[in-house]
């Protein structure tokens, strides 16, 4: 596994921030080029500066040159995951490895640079690498080039569920026998003027911070970064003595078929039930629930209702975490980062606190982990419910 | 203003990107593993920084860095003379 976000670069930095309850949300104040009017400011979870030393050893100087940030984050997290899995330069990468990456939008910064150059500076041409930098498949192309992965490789785009779907479909690559390994995850870099203004116009953005399931929550806070996982056939991983973090055991994917922005609980419920059925895990077995938990009034209300409907009376023995309160909303990368951190929490025997709470909301009742707790769970479920009603739920088990 | 060979090589190092020390004038683009798309980025940067417009056809026959530098300097001089 690998991760980079406002919480830090690397698994250790990510987990210690969560374990210690250190949030990554700060206030930003930015402008496009030197424009007087194209400014944006508010709470955001800005990714830490990238340490490229490990990549430089592999790829030479300036390994991130000509990469949009959403691809740069991907190769940083991907390298950590591949190195940790002991798969760098392994022969399985040549044919029997898939690579599936989740992205919600694309190279926002590159698109914006082209617009700023054209409309603010009056230029009539743009950088020749504009298309290869901004295309939504750029991260997976760079990952496959950097690591020599020659099997099936592509991007999945399903907004905030992109990397949840990427992980689930990667698991099916292995289950169906197409590959032994699947490198999966997602990334996003949307702290740009156009993206910011778009989210603001939807009135989805909080003006203070992210308070999932809390009273007085005002919306989401954008984050940026990436997370990657190496999925591998169990026997294949055992035979080569790989470090195994967990078993990816269940995947549910559904669609609301309802509305382009408003969630409908039936899709979320169906995805959670499907993941449990796929994993063969009873719903009353204690489980750590890594919620979608965006902090928007509507998501948390609908999500908590879905959890109550699915788990019924047994919900009280589960715990609900919402790490977007720490690392912000990574959109296409969120599902991956939230599964990685849920597995870290399970393995540490710690339930990390949901930050910024101002008290439980009676309209969003769930057993939310308002304070850090040392508690052992043998399974985690990570839920992602995207705009447009595209849902994924992933279950991982202690190994 | 005439563009120096060093200025052109600096831009190649920045845009490809490639170690500046590898850029010897007699080295071929092929040997340096510089792709044609990399050179399009170089031409874009030359236009941005020095206002010299180079078309792909102008550099279709260039093999070495020295060939490329000669084309850029000749175009720059011609465009400066034309005002």
Do the Cβ atoms of B17 and A127 come within 8 Å? no
A329 given a catalytic annotation: yes
The residue annotated as part of the active site, out of A47, A103, A160, A210, is A160
Q: Can you give the CATH number for the domain in which B47 is found?
A: 1.10.1200.10
- Residue range of the domain that includes A321: 247-397
Q: Does A122 touch chain B (CB under 8 A)?
A: no
Are residues A232 and A258 both part of a single domain? Answer: no
Are A265 and A233 part of one and the same domain?
A: no
ipTM above 0.85, yes or no: no
Q: Does any CB of chain B come closer than 8 Å to the CB of residue A129?
A: yes
User: Is A61 within 8 Å of B17 when comparing Cβ atoms?
Assistant: yes
Q: Among the three residues A239, A266, A301, which one is the final residue of a domain in this structure? A: A239
A200 and A265: one domain? no
- With 0-12 CB in 10 A as exposed, 13-18 as middle and 19+ as buried, what is A161? buried
A13 reaches B (C-beta below 8 A): no
Number of domains in chain A: 2
Note down the domain range covering B66: 5-81
Strand partners, A255: A390
Instruction: Report d(CA A364, CA A83) in Å as an integer.
Output: 41
CA distance A91 to A83: 14
What local confidence, expressed as pLDDT, does residue B37 receive? 84
> Given CB atoms, is A117 within the 8 Å cutoff of chain B?
no
Looking at the structure, tell me whether residues A9 and A67 fall in a common domain: yes
> For B4-45, what is each residue's pLDDT tens digit?
999 999 999 999 999 999 999 999 999 999 988 889 999 999
Q: What pLDDT is stored for residue B56 in this prediction?
A: 86
**Residue A196 and residue A179 share a domain:** yes
Active site residue A142: no
For chain B, strand residue ranges (E) read none
Number of A to B CB contacts under 8 A, please give it: 19
Check whether residue A51 and residue A177 sit in a common domain: yes
- State whether A64 and A170 are in the same domain: yes
Q: Is the pLDDT of residue B83 over 80?
A: no
CA-based nearest residue in chain A for residue B40? A128
Residue A136, pLDDT score? 98
Nearest by CB to B17, from A62, A125, A128: name it: A62
User: Which DSSP letter does residue A364 get?
Assistant: G
Instruction: Spell out which residues of chain A touch residue B19, defining contact as CB-CB under 8 Å.
Output: 60-61
Mark whether A225 and A348 lie in a shared domain. Answer: no
Residue A122: predicted pLDDT = 93
At residue B82, does pLDDT exceed 90?
no
CB contact B40 to A (< 8 Å): yes
- pLDDT at B1 exceeding the cut of 80: no
The shortest CB-CB distance from A128 to any of B17, B19, B44 is to: B44
Q: Does A128 touch chain B (CB under 8 A)?
A: yes
The three-point CA angle A67-A16-A217 to 5° equals: 80
Contacts of B39 in chain A (CB under 8 A): none
Nearest to B37 among A60, A65, A128 (CB): A128
Active-site residue flag, A258 = no
- Return the pLDDT at A186: 98
Q: Over the stretch A324-352, which tens digit does the pLDDT of each residue have?
A: 999 999 999 999 999 999 999 999 999 99
Residues of A in contact with B42 (CB under 8 A): none
Tokens of residue A203, six digits: 């009135």
A385 with A258, same domain?
yes
Nearest-CB residue to A128 (from B17, B19, B41): B41
Q: Which of A200, A219, A239 is the last residue of a domain?
A: A239
Q: Which parts of chain A have pLDDT scores under 70? A: none
Number of domains in chain B: 1
Give residue B22's pLDDT: 94
Q: Are residues A75 and A39 in the same domain?
A: yes
CB contact under 8 A, A129 and B41: yes
Does A179 share its domain with A74? yes
SS3 for A289? strand
What is the Cα–Cα distance from A52 to A62, expressed in whole angstroms?
Answer: 8
What distance in Å separates the CA atoms of residue A31 and residue A34, rounded to the nearest whole number? 7
| pTM of structure | 0.95
Calculate how close chain A gets to B19, using CA atoms only, in Å.
8
Q: Would the CA dihedral through A206, A209, A213, A216 be positive or negative?
A: negative
CATH code, domain with A228 = 3.40.47.10
């Amino acid at each position: 596994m690998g991760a980079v976000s406002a919480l830090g670069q690397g698994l250790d930095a990510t987990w210690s921030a969560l374990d210690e309850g250190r949030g990554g949300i700060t206030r930003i104040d930015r402008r496009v080029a030197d424009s007087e009017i194209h400014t944006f400011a508010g709470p955001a979870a800005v990714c830490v500066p990238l340490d490229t030393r490990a990549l430089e050893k592999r790829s030479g100087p300036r390994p991130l040159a000509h990469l949009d940030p959403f691809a740069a984050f991907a190769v940083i997290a991907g390298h950590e995951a591949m190195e940790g899995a002991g798969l760098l330069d392994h022969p399985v990468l040549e044919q029997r490895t898939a690579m599936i990456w989740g992205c919600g939008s694309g190279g926002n910064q590159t698109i914006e640079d082209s617009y700023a150059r054209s409309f603010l500076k009056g230029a009539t041409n743009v950088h020749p690498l504009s298309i290869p930098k901004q295309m939504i498949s750029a991260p997976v192309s760079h990952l496959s080039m950097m690591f020599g992965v020659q099997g099936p490789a592509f991007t999945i785009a399903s907004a905030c569920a992109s990397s949840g779907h990427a992980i689930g479909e990667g698991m099916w690559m292995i289950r169906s026998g197409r590959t032994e390994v699947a490198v999966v995850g997602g990334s996003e870099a949307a702290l740009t003027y156009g993206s910011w203004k778009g989210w603001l116009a939807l009135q989805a953005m909080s003006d203070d911070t992210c308070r999932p399931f809390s009273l007085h929550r005002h919306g989401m806070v954008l984050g940026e970064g990436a997370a990657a996982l190496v999925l591998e056939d169990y026997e294949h991983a055992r035979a080569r003595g790989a470090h195994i973090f967990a078993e990816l055991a269940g995947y549910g994917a559904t669609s609301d078929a309802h509305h382009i922005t408003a969630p409908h609980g039936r899709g979320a419920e169906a995805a959670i039930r499907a993941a449990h059925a796929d994993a063969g895990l009873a719903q009353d077995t204690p489980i750590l629930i890594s919620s979608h938990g965006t902090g928007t009034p509507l998501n948390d209300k609908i999500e908590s209702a879905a959890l109550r409907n699915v788990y019924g009376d047994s919900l009280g023995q589960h715990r609900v975490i919402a790490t977007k309160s720490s690392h912000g909303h990574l959109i296409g990368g969120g599902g991956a980062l939230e599964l990685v951190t849920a597995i870290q929490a399970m393995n540490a025997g710690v339930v990390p606190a949901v930050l910024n709470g101002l008290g439980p909301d009676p309209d969003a009742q769930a057993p939310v982990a308002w304070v850090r707790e040392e508690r052992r769970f043998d399974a985690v479920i990570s839920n992602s419910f995207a705009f447009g009603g595209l849902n994924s739920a992933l279950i991982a088990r202690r190994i | 203003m005439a563009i120096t060979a060093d200025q052109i090589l600096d831009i190649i190092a920045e845009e490809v990107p490639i170690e500046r020390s590898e850029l010897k004038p007699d080295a071929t683009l092929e040997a340096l593993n510089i792709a044609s798309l990399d050179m399009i980025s170089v031409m874009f940067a030359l236009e941005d920084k020095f206002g010299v417009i180079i078309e792909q056809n102008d550099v279709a026959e260039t093999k070495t860095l020295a060939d490329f530098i000669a084309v850029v300097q000749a175009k720059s001089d011609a465009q400066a003379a034309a005002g």
